[in-house]
Amino acid sequence: MQLRYAFRLYPDAGQRTALARAFGCARVVFNDAVRAREDARKAGRPFPTAGQLSRKLITEAKRTKERSWLGEVSAVVLQQSLRDAEAAYRNFFSSLNGTRKGPRTGPPRFKSRKDARQSVRFTANARWSITGSGRLSLPKIGAVKVKWSRMLPAAPTSVTVVMDAVGRYFASFVIDTDPVADRARMPETDRTIGIDLGLTHFAVLSTGEKIGSPRFLRRAEKKLKKAQRELSRKQKGSRNRAKARLKVARAHAKVADARREFHHQLSTRLISENQGIAVEDLSVAGLARTRLAKSVHDAGWSSFISMLTYKAARYGRTLVKIGRFTPTSQTCCTCGAVDGPKPLDVREWTCAACGAVHDRDVNAAINVKTAAGLAVSACGAPVRPGAVPAQREETGSHGFPTGNRAA
């Protein structure tokens, strides 16, 4: 499995200038590639190939007066920018013909220097290295100070340098993990669990444990509103507006970092304690269009389930997602009677068939576990065949180090 390990970078003034130059050159090459393909489409000509774009936009462009400054950065950075443009078009066409899963992907857009995220990628042939003193040596940038929060489990295959909206720098390493070593870290257990995700409590487990919702965005809402109000009063283009924008970005980054840290800690704990985990396949996009949209986004269910998915695949656990239309809140977990829908303010109910008193969320979590085949019915027979090991949706799942995570 491929994972990403991100570590905080602390470049000096000269290195920040060199990184800004690399970000700018990569952005220009990407935009030139998009423009060349769009011009070809409008003229009815075939799309230029990757080799033709490389020769025209990099090799020949360096010899011109207008693009001579492309030679000031590593050629690998420019080549990787072309690869990114190729991948963007490939995803767009795959989305058009229906071979790509997930929501519809639009055509590549031009990048801007004002984008919240800037990045450049160095592959192995760029000859980057980690020095004996623990610094990250990058071509035409120098040896950058790194805050190592943990050891890399293997030699990385590439590194991406990212600058976020707050102006923080991160080095994101791609690591090929060892499945045998990963599974040895978490021995098998006979415990299984069902999880009911919600807003009153972030998660209620089939064991009866309730995990409170931190509500990071709600708690920071007053501070965010004040920072945003101050930003709106600043004159566009002024230095004070730039400072106010950074203040807003820092406030949002603090919320995102805290939420991500909470998701990582909880998902790691559940994966380490349980061999099988069952969750609902929630339609987060649909719920985000309701009056509960802000609370749904604040909870970050999609991010949490994504973490459970790749960690389950990495450590040999079983993750089962049951259908979102399964009536987990309407079914009695004791006798299996379906008692019908209930309004959200009903948090406890009594089964009309057997008289059992249920906590709404705990009952739903038990039903999630039962529907996933991780539990047995009242007669002692499995509800359905055993769970199938979870599959990773895509390579490059993010496994960020504690305390140093990219926003």
Q: Are strands 2-10 and 142-147 parallel, antiparallel or unpaired?
A: antiparallel
> Which residue is it, tokens 């009952």?
363
32, 75: one domain: yes
Q: Is 233 within the bounds of a domain?
A: no
Structural contact between residues 227 and 248, judged by C-beta atoms closer than 8 angstroms:
yes
User: What total of structural domains would you count in the chain?
Assistant: 2
Structural contact between residues 160 and 147, judged by C-beta atoms closer than 8 angstroms:
no
Q: Which of 126, 154, 177 is the last residue of a domain?
A: 177
Q: Is 378 within the bounds of a domain?
A: yes
So what's the pLDDT on residue 267? 96
146, 272: one domain: no
So what's the pLDDT on residue 386? 38
169, 25: one domain: yes
Structural contact between residues 28 and 21, judged by C-beta atoms closer than 8 angstroms:
no
Q: Which two tokens stand for residue 300?
A: 């970050």
Structural contact between residues 122 and 138, judged by C-beta atoms closer than 8 angstroms:
yes
Q: Is 228 within the bounds of a domain?
A: no
Backbone angles phi, psi at 159, to 5 degrees: -140, 135
So what's the pLDDT on residue 391? 36
Structural contact between residues 46 and 40, judged by C-beta atoms closer than 8 angstroms:
yes
Residues 6+ apart with CB under 8 A from 4: 172, 173, 174, 175, 396, 397, 398, 399, 400
So what's the pLDDT on residue 274? 95
Q: Is 230 within the bounds of a domain?
A: no
So what's the pLDDT on residue 355? 87
320, 385: one domain: yes
Under DSSP, the state recorded for 108 is P
Query: What is the pTM (predicted TM-score) of this model?
Result: 0.84
| Per-residue pLDDT tens over the stretch 127-160 | 999 999 999 999 999 999 999 998 888 889 899 9
61, 90: one domain: yes
194, 126: one domain: no
Domain that holds residue 32: 2-177
Taken in order 62, 66, 69, 75, the sign of the CA dihedral is negative
271, 328: one domain: yes
User: For residues 1 and 67, what is the distance between their CA atoms, to the nearest angstrom?
Assistant: 39
User: For residues 344 and 333, what is the distance between their CA atoms, to the nearest angstrom?
Assistant: 19
116, 204: one domain: no
Q: Which two tokens stand for residue 148?
A: 């190592």
Q: Is 239 within the bounds of a domain?
A: no
Contacts 24+ apart (CB under 8 A), 268-271: 268/311, 270/193, 270/195, 270/308, 271/186, 271/308, 271/311, 271/312, 271/315, 271/317
Q: Which of 177, 203, 232 is the last residue of a domain?
A: 177
Under DSSP, the state recorded for 353 is T
So what's the pLDDT on residue 345? 84
So what's the pLDDT on residue 98? 87
So what's the pLDDT on residue 373? 86
393, 302: one domain: yes
Burial label for 26, CB within 10 Å (0-12, 13-18, 19+), is buried
* pLDDT under 70: residue ranges of the chain: 375-407
Nearest in space to 171 (alpha carbons), one of 127, 108, 121, 240: 121
163, 284: one domain: no
Q: Is 229 within the bounds of a domain?
A: no
Q: Which of 157, 177, 197 is the last residue of a domain?
A: 177
CB atoms within 10 A of CB 400: 21
166, 50: one domain: yes
Q: Is 113 within the bounds of a domain?
A: yes
Taken in order 113, 118, 123, 128, the sign of the CA dihedral is positive
Catalytically annotated residues: 196, 280, 361
192, 168: one domain: no
Structural contact between residues 378 and 218, judged by C-beta atoms closer than 8 angstroms:
no
Q: Is 352 within the bounds of a domain?
A: yes
So what's the pLDDT on residue 375? 56
**Rg over CA atoms, the chain:** 25
| Per-residue pLDDT tens over the stretch 194-239 | 999 999 899 999 999 999 999 999 999 999 999 999 999 999 999 9
